[in-house]
Amino acid sequence: MENIIECKNLTHYYGKRLIYEDINFTVPKGRILGLLGKNGTGKTTTINILSGYLKQHSGECRLFGQEIQRMDPSLRQKIGILIEGHVQYQFMNIQQIEKFYSAFYPKWKREAYYELMSKLKVAPKQMISRMSCGQRSQVALGLILAQNPELLILDDFSLGLDSGYRRLFVDYLRDYARSEGKTVFLTSHIIQDMEKLIDDCMIMDYGRILIQKPIKEILDTARKYTFNVPDGYEMKATEDFHYPLAIRGTLETLSFLNKESVEIKLKELGIPYSNLQCSRVDLEEAFIGLSGKY
């Protein structure tokens, strides 16, 4: 399948501080990929590099096969971006902004924009600067829908939105992306939103990518295991057991192994466990289990 986003040996520093080194990932056409990571792991860095507002230290990053910093301007027709906070031109109203953007896109879908705007309770001449964040998010979304891009890059779309608008945004976006086979790269700090939306999940840790898997696979295979250990016992993390944490004799860890394999592994490692319990996890638990609470 064709890869819309391709990043190879991506390395970035801020000054002397290494953000990550030699990371590689691709996003194939038609997939919705959510990027998860704790603060400071390089989510925003990645989004900025992908949207063309940060020049990576080294490595290469291509959208539709073209190096981002040197991409043909016309290619940007096929890319929609959403800036953190749903920022749009403050000094325009919803008609002016539509008029402005439509001039740049030959395949502009005016109706798509106004369909969404008709549901918004704002006066046609109301300045964007005087709209709520939720209303602004609808304007930004409407503009993206009218632009009808092949690839969407969304920076923390849930920031500042209440649950109603968040739901609205997610629903529209999913509907749009699914029905037209669009590719989406997004981040959000609210993981529940992503769970409903994304196909693939990429989790970043400091300096590296922990996993990139279809969300279905994660939800199907990730398990939370709890078992009792003697007081004061501490288990080291291994490839199979992520962030084991013992609190008052109860140890919790995340693993992609099934229960039988876990028992075999624990025995191999010589861990004095008892009362092994296994439960399914949602994406948020999986994320915390994989990246640790601290």
Partner 1 sequence: MKAIFYKEWLKVRWYFILAIATSLGFSIFSILRINRVIELKGAGHIWEVMIQRDVIFIDLMQFVPIIMGICMAIVQFAPEMYHKSLKLTLHLPYSALKMTFVMLFSGFLLLLGTFFINMIVMNGYLSIVLAPELKWQILNTATVWYLAGIASYFLIAWIVFEPAWKRRLLNIGITLLLLKIFFMSDMPQAYNSFLPYLAIGSILIASLSWLSILRFKAGKQD
Is 96 near partner 1 (CB under 8 A)?
yes
100 binds partner 1 per the rule CB under 8 A: yes
Asked whether position 85 contacts partner 1 by CB under 8 A, the answer is: yes
Contact range with partner 1 by CB under 8 A, out of 49-57, 171-179, 244-252, 284-292 = 49-57
Does position 124 bind partner 1 by CB under 8 A? Answer: no
Number of H helices, E strands in the chain: 9, 14
Contact 189, 156 (CB under 8 A): yes
Rounded Cα–Cα distance for residues 269 and 258 (Å): 16
Could you tell me the smallest distance in angstroms from the CB atom of residue 55 to partner 1?
Answer: 4
Q: Which of 24, 95, 99, 267 is the binder for partner 1 (CB under 8 A)?
A: 99
CA distances to 52, 143, 149 from 111, rounded to whole Å, are 29, 11, 15
Q: Which of 54, 144, 152, 246 binds partner 1 (CB under 8 A)?
A: 54
Binding mask 205-244 for partner 1 (x = CB under 8 A): ----------------------------------------
Cα 289 from chain centre: 17
In angstroms, the CA 46 to CA 51 distance is: 9
Backbone phi, psi, residue 245, to 5°: -140, 120
Structure tokens at 62: 């291509």
Q: Going edge to edge, which strands form the sheet with 274-280?
A: 242-247, 250-255, 223-228, 274-280
Number of amino acids touching partner 1 (CB under 8 A):
30
Q: Which stretch binds partner 1 (CB under 8 A): 23-31, 81-89, 202-210, 272-280?
A: 81-89
Among residues 6, 18, 59, 92, the one that binds partner 1 under rule CB under 8 A: 92
Q: Does 95 bind partner 1 (CB under 8 A)?
A: no
Q: CB atoms < 10 A from the CB of 268, how many?
A: 8
> Among residues 123 and 269, whose Cβ is nearest to partner 1?
123
When asked if residue 90 is in the footprint of partner 1 (CB under 8 A), the reply is: yes
Smaller CB distance to partner 1: residue 46 or 253? 46
Question: Which residues are bridge partners to 200 per DSSP?
Answer: 33, 214
From the number of C-beta atoms within 10 Å of its C-beta (0-12, 13-18, 19+), residue 59 rates as middle
**Of 19, 23, 41, 88, the one binding partner 1 by CB under 8 A:** 88
Please give the residue ranges that form the binding site for partner 1 (CB under 8 A). 14, 48, 51-55, 69, 73-77, 79, 81, 83, 85, 87-92, 96, 99-101, 103-105
